[in-house]
A and B are shown apart, each in its own frame.
Chain A
Amino acid sequence: MLELIDVSKTYHTRYGPREVLKHVNLSLGKGRNLGILGRNGAGKSTLIRMISGAEKPNTGRIKRGMSVSWPLAFGGAFHQHLTGLDNLKFVCRVYGVDYRPLVPFVERFTELGEYFHEPVAHYSAGMMTRLAFALSMAIEFDCFLIDEAMVVGDVRFHERCHVELFHKRKDRAFILVSHDADVIKLYCENAAVLHEGKLLPFPNVDAAYDFYNETMAEHKSPDGNVEAA
C-alpha cells in the first residue's frame, strides 16, 4: 500500500510563497493503478517528486508499504561523463542489484551498440531516453511512477515501452500522470484530477475524463487552442 496523507507543498517564488499541493490524499494498493490528470502547472510533477522522495512535503506524510520507482525514464540523474554502462552500474549499486545479468537486456533494449561504452554526453536525445527507460526496467519495483511527458520517442519506442511495462509487468502498481485524458483512459483503472493544487477523486475513469475535458473547455483561449496543454 502506498499512502499520501494530507500532503501539502509550498514553493518560494519571487512573489512570495505559492502552495502547489493542497492537502492531497491518495492511496494505492499492490498491483493497482491510478491515472492523475492535470493541466500544465497543475502540480503533477511536484506530486511525482513527493511520491518518489526527491522532495519532502511541508506537511502530511507519505507511507510507502511497497517499493516505489524513481520517475520512469528520468534521465536527469545521468552524469555526462559516465558511460551508459557506468550509469547502469550506478543505479544497480544504489538499489543493491548485481548489474552483470542486466547488461544483455539493457544493450538489447537501448540499441546503443558501441555507444553503451561512450560517455552519455555523446548521446542523442533518443539514445538518452532509451537508456533511461531501460534502466527503469532493470530494477524491479512494486510500483512505477510514470510522468507521461518524460516518455517521449517514436511509435516503435512507445510500443516497446508498452510491452515492457504493461504486459511483462502487468502485476505491478503504477501511477501515471498526464495532461492527456485519452492516455489515462487507455491505461488506468482509476483516475483523479489534479486541479488548482487539489487532488479530486472520481468514482471511475469516465467521470474523471468528462470532468477534465469540461474544465479544459472552459480554459480554451479565443483562438480555439487549448491553453498550455
Chain B
Amino acid sequence: MTTLSTPSLASAFAINRRVLYALLMREIITRFGRENIGVLWLVGEPMIFTLGIVTLWSMSGMNHGHAIPIVTFAITGYSSVLLWRNAASRAGGAVEQNKQLLYHRNVLVLDTLLTRILVELVGATGSFIVLISIFGFFGWMKPPENILMVIGGWLMLAWFGSALALMLGAGSAYSPIVERLWHPAAYLMFPLSGAAFMVEWLPVNLRSVVTYFPMVHGIELLRAGYFGNAVKAHYDIGYMAEVCLGMTLMGLYLVREASYRLEH
C-alpha cells in the first residue's frame, strides 16, 4: 500500500470516512462501555435529563398562562437545548483528549471534533424521537401539526450546535480559557435560548434582544411546526442561516489553525 502525499479528492474522502468510522466506534465503546445497556445510554442520558425537566415544569405548573400544553412545551424546549449544547460541550475537550491519535497521519483534528458532534447529535435526536413517540403513544402529547417545520427547526439547531462545537473545540486547543468561559456562557444562554419561553410572550423591547440569539429562531420554527396556529412564532431562518454559516466558516478556519499550533 502506498499513500501519496496529495491524495485525490475521492480517495481523501474515502480515508476520511474510514477514519470517522474508526473514531465513532472508539468513542462509543470508550464512553458508554459494554456493561448494562451500553450504547443505549447515548439516547438514555439526554432522555433522563429531559424527563426530569418535564416533571419539574409540569409540577411547578410553570404557570405560563398560555393555551399550549406544558409537556409538549417542555419536551420541545429542553430537547432543543440538549441538541446544541451537548455537541458544543463535548467538543471542548476533544482535541486535547485525542491528541495522541494524530500520530496516525490520517486522523485530523477535524475528525476528532466531527466524531464528538455526530455522537451528540445522534443521541439528542434519538432521545427526542423516543420521547415524542412514547408520550404520543400514551396520548400525553399530540403529534406535530407540520412535521417538516419541526424537522427544519431541528436541523437548524443541529447546524448551530455543530458550528458552535467547531469553534469551541478548536478554541480550546488555543487556550484553556475558552473552555472555562464556555461553562458559564452555556449556563447563562439557557434562559435566553427560547427553551422556556416563546418570543410572543415577551414585552416588545425584549423580543428584539432575544432574537439576536440564533437558536431562538430554530426553536420558534420547531414550535410553530408543533403547535400550528395555537402559537404565534417569531423566526427568521435566513438570519439564523447567515449566523450559522459565518460560525461554520470561522470554526473551520480555527480548526485548521489549531492543527498548526498543537504541541504534544
Residues of A that sit less than 8 Å from B by CB: 11-12, 49, 52-56, 58, 62-68, 70-71, 74, 76-77, 79, 81-82, 86, 89-91, 93-96, 140-142
* A11 and B263 contact, Cβ closer than 8 Å, known pairs A64-B5, A89-B25, A93-B21: yes
Complex contact A54–B102 (CB within 8 A):
yes
The one of A54, A86, A96 in contact with B15, judged by C-beta atoms closer than 8 angstroms, is A96
Stretch of B104-112, B126-134, B143-151, B158-166 on the interface side: B104-112
Residues of B that sit less than 8 Å from A by CB: 1-5, 14-15, 18-19, 21-22, 25-26, 29-30, 33, 100-107, 259-260, 262-264
The contact sample of 17 A-B pairs, CB cut-off 8 A, is A11-B263, A52-B103, A54-B102, A55-B263, A55-B264, A62-B5, A64-B4, A70-B103, A74-B103, A79-B26, A90-B26, A93-B18, A93-B19, A93-B21, A93-B22, A94-B107, A95-B1
* A94 and B103 contact, Cβ closer than 8 Å, known pairs A82-B30, A86-B29: no
Complex contact A76–B259 (CB within 8 A):
no
Extra pairs beyond A55-B264, A86-B29, A95-B106 (14, CB < 8 Å): A12-B263, A49-B264, A52-B103, A52-B105, A54-B264, A55-B102, A56-B260, A56-B262, A65-B4, A66-B2, A74-B103, A81-B33, A82-B29, A93-B22
| B3 cross-chain contacts in A, Cβ below 8 A | 64, 67
9 smallest A-B Cβ distances: which pairs?
A: A93-B22, A53-B105, A76-B100, A70-B103, A64-B5, A77-B100, A67-B3, A54-B103, A54-B102
Complex contact A94–B18 (CB within 8 A):
yes
Complex contact A70–B5 (CB within 8 A):
no
Q: Which residue of A lies closest to B101 (CB)?
A: A77
Q: Which residue of B lies closest to A68 (CB)?
A: B105
Q: Which residue of A lies closest to B260 (CB)?
A: A56
Q: Which residue of B lies closest to A66 (CB)?
A: B2
The one of B5, B25, B262 in contact with A65, judged by C-beta atoms closer than 8 angstroms, is B5
| B25 cross-chain contacts in A, Cβ below 8 A | 89-90, 93
Complex contact A81–B264 (CB within 8 A):
no
Q: Which residue of B lies closest to A79 (CB)?
A: B30
Chain A min CB distance to B105 (Å) = 4
Complex contact A91–B18 (CB within 8 A):
no
| B103 cross-chain contacts in A, Cβ below 8 A | 49, 52-54, 70-71, 74, 76-77
- Alpha-carbon distance between A77 and B100 when the two chains are bound, in angstroms: 5
Chain B min CB distance to A10 (Å) = 10
Chain A min CB distance to B114 (Å) = 14
- Alpha-carbon distance between A49 and B263 when the two chains are bound, in angstroms: 10
Q: Which residue of B lies closest to A70 (CB)?
A: B103
- Alpha-carbon distance between A77 and B263 when the two chains are bound, in angstroms: 15
| A67 cross-chain contacts in B, Cβ below 8 A | 1-3
Chain A min CB distance to B8 (Å) = 15
- Alpha-carbon distance between A139 and B2 when the two chains are bound, in angstroms: 12
- Alpha-carbon distance between A76 and B264 when the two chains are bound, in angstroms: 11
| A55 cross-chain contacts in B, Cβ below 8 A | 102, 262-264
| A71 cross-chain contacts in B, Cβ below 8 A | 103
Complex contact A70–B29 (CB within 8 A):
no
| B260 cross-chain contacts in A, Cβ below 8 A | 56, 58
- Alpha-carbon distance between A71 and B103 when the two chains are bound, in angstroms: 7
- Alpha-carbon distance between A70 and B104 when the two chains are bound, in angstroms: 6
- Alpha-carbon distance between A12 and B21 when the two chains are bound, in angstroms: 34
Q: Which residue of A lies closest to B33 (CB)?
A: A81
Chain B min CB distance to A58 (Å) = 8
| A140 cross-chain contacts in B, Cβ below 8 A | 1
| B104 cross-chain contacts in A, Cβ below 8 A | 70, 77, 91, 94-95
Best-surrounded residue of B21, B100, B260, B262 (most CB of chain A within 10 A)? B100
Q: Which residue of A lies closest to B99 (CB)?
A: A54
- Alpha-carbon distance between A105 and B56 when the two chains are bound, in angstroms: 57
- Alpha-carbon distance between A165 and B197 when the two chains are bound, in angstroms: 65
| A81 cross-chain contacts in B, Cβ below 8 A | 29-30, 33
- Alpha-carbon distance between A86 and B26 when the two chains are bound, in angstroms: 8
| A142 cross-chain contacts in B, Cβ below 8 A | 2
| A53 cross-chain contacts in B, Cβ below 8 A | 102-103, 105
Chain A min CB distance to B102 (Å) = 5
- Alpha-carbon distance between A55 and B101 when the two chains are bound, in angstroms: 11
Best-surrounded residue of B5, B33, B260 (most CB of chain A within 10 A)? B5
